[in-house]
Structure 1
């Protein structure tokens, strides 16, 4: 059986879609032994104590491929007799692969890409580093056809490009989750609720939701918008809510514990995150685990058209894809779903079925195990 060293900056208790992805894979990898080497974050000690594998934290918020980190990673790999390494994000930690293979018994290296590597592929200096990563990793993964098309010109032919998407815990996110406590906490009552679960950053499109909501309330006067998450864009969003006179209609919860996420999805009737591409294509959505979690919970989903996000929605079947930043189109789609509960419920059921068929962890974890297995 394979013994794996996972090197990552994206690991709980730090919250985010990538963190959930990497931790979900770590929990389910069918390997003989796994050890995690990662950066630290608040609450790490308690979280690590609950894990079924050892977690080694560097006393920094960000691991970089420095000589010190390279030495520490090699020490951990030798101590645990690892023969494979998995990089939770290819850039930049995938640069450690060559040294780990040279210094340890590691014979197989796999690097996961998300969305930011697309930006690296567009810039000459970063593209050269991405090519070095590809040269020394046996597999570089991609989320969607969109990311494959963007990565292939930079690294095609240097390594194997293989698809690896998020998995969803359909036992945790399901239509039977009780959202009433969240509704009660925020005074939502029986109002129709649009929910968005995401970090508060400009790419995610919470500002577009706020701009669209007055038009929604023209048709659905009691509609409420629940923005779940925290982040650097929160102050700007609160000012936007006040400026548009919607303090009674829009609620920002701030960051919530991971264990409360299913109930926050379940508090909504429609899920929407109208993400958009920014910075001339360098800031894009890789896929969007929140769309999958919302579908698993039985909600119709509205996604923006940034990067690989459309791959998380069967447009017209499990939800809709709208142009990122287009508040008018978004308002029309939201209004249509809120005023036709039967159609919305049908999309939610279709999304749930799709999650159970194609997006569960066991299939994806087995795919990754195969990628990590060294040749005989």
Structure 2
């Protein structure tokens, strides 16, 4: 059986959907199916990565890689690449991942293959239910694909609810949670590397670390943590706030640090290769991403992979209410689920975990056990294979 995975996020691009696209390609290939991934070209070095994989990767032209911003050129480049791949491969199943892929799929006149679509919260919330005319226009093509699909994969119950609200029949939608890799669950922390990170970022021995791993965009919650820091520091709790990721919001976050008087306590680590992110989870004492919905941005989290990964490393997590994080983090047992706009609540949760080391450790252990029960790579792949192999 031939399976085509069409995605606009794939390594070396960093992000949850890129990781999931790779996991699906690898897992489905290991099950004995003939897998091809259609993905953007990022650089000449992509060939080295592609040659190391046990499945085929076809790279689209550079015009298709303009992630995130809808544009006629990108949409056309994606559609033409998809048509070419369908003609050459003649797949039995096509899995569409990312908004750009959904738009292109909805424009196809016919679908002579089984269609499986992986839909994120942003696609349901911003494009099917949003108020922006440009997004609703693209949403028409996306919804056309969803209605013709054999199955839609939702990463969380909250995303399924959004899809149903947009008029997608519930019996088309299967909730398949994102899975954490075996490596993330099994690798032991490396004391030498952790000591090197402490030295690099001038984090004193014994000084606690609060971590966020995310793109630097409004709604992820880094700004809320920065605003909460003066209250936490006033209580005498010395810690460093380590921010991993890059994005257009970085300068505003740095200006906010100056305004709040916490610049010396905040570290902007920049982008980190996926293979090294595990060390930052191991370095931290608390992982925090108090995401919130920004009205004009029409953003929402489906199920953040970083929340799963941090929990898998045994870290207590403070996460925002919107989206799927609350399906991972049990409030008061493995972390806290907070209102991302309530600075006082965020500060109190940070203080509680900084002041109660035993509670923080217990929360982290509970989080890790829950990941191992429900949110593993094997469970995700097995569930997807069931959809592919059903005759």
The TM-score with structure 1 as length reference comes to: 0.91
Q: Which residue does the alignment assign to 1:235?
A: 251
2-side partners of 1:96 and 1:216: how far apart? 48
Counterpart in the other structure of 1:87: 96
Change (3 A) 1:260 1:108: same
CA contact (8 A) 1:303 1:320 kept: yes
For 2:372, the equivalent position in structure 1 comes to 356
**Following the alignment from structure 2 to structure 1, what is the Cα–Cα distance between the partners of residues 272 and 159?**
30
Q: Does 1:275 align with 2:291?
A: yes
- Listed as ranges, the matches of 1:182-261 within 5 Å are 182-189=197-204, 190-261=206-277
Local SS of the residue matching 1:200 = coil
Deviation larger for 292-301 or 219-228: 219-228
Query: Are the aligned partners of 1:175 and 1:298 in contact in 2 as well (CA < 8 Å)?
Result: no
Number of the residue aligned with 2:70? none
What per-residue deviation string (whole Å, max 9, x for no partner) do you get for residues 325-346 of structure 1? 2111111000110111000000
Q: Which has the higher contact order (CA 8 A, sep 6+)?
A: 1
- What are the superposed Cα offsets for residues 149-177 of structure 1, whole Å, 9 maximum, x if unpaired? 11113243397111122100143245832
Instruction: Specify which of 150, 162, 166 is matched with residue 154 of structure 1.
Output: 166
- Pairwise CA distance, 1:44: 2.4
- Deviation for aligned residue 1:65: 4.8
Q: 1:369 and 1:175, CA in 2 relative to 1: closer, same or farther beyond 3 A?
A: closer
User: What is the CA-CA distance between 1:220 and the residue it aligns to?
Assistant: 3.7
Query: CA separation of 1:340/1:197 partners in 2, compared to 1, >3 Å: closer, same or farther?
Result: same
Unpaired segments of 5 or more residues in structure 2? 67-72, 131-135
Look up the match of 2:176. Answer: 164
2:118 corresponds in structure 1 to 112
Alignment of 1:22-61 (within 5 A): 22-29=21-28, 30-42=31-43, 43-60=45-62, 61=65
Deviation at 1:69, TM superposition (A): 4.1
The answer to whether 1:145 aligns with 2:161 is no
Alignment partners' CA distance in 2, 1:272 and 1:59: 37
CA distance in 1, matches of 2:179, 2:263: 36
Aligned-partner Cα distance in 2 for 1:365–1:220: 46
Structure 2 match to 1:16: 15
Tell me the residue number matched to 2:133: none
Q: Say which of 62, 78, 85 aligns to 1:76.
A: 85
Q: TM-score, normalised by structure 2?
A: 0.88
* Residues 213/353 of structure 1: CA separation in 2 closer, same or farther (3 Å cut): same
Q: CA RMSD in A?
A: 2.2
Of residues 155-164 and 212-221 in structure 1, the stretch that sits farther from structure 2 once superposed is 155-164
Q: Secondary structure in 1 aligned to 2:270?
A: coil
**Aligned residues of 1:73 and 1:100 also touching (Cα < 8 A):** no
Residue of structure 1 equivalent to 2:313: 297
User: 1:6 maps to which residue?
Assistant: 5
- Aligned length in residues: 370
Matches within 5 A, 1:167-178: 167-173=179-185, 176-178=188-190
Deviation at 1:41, TM superposition (A): 1.8
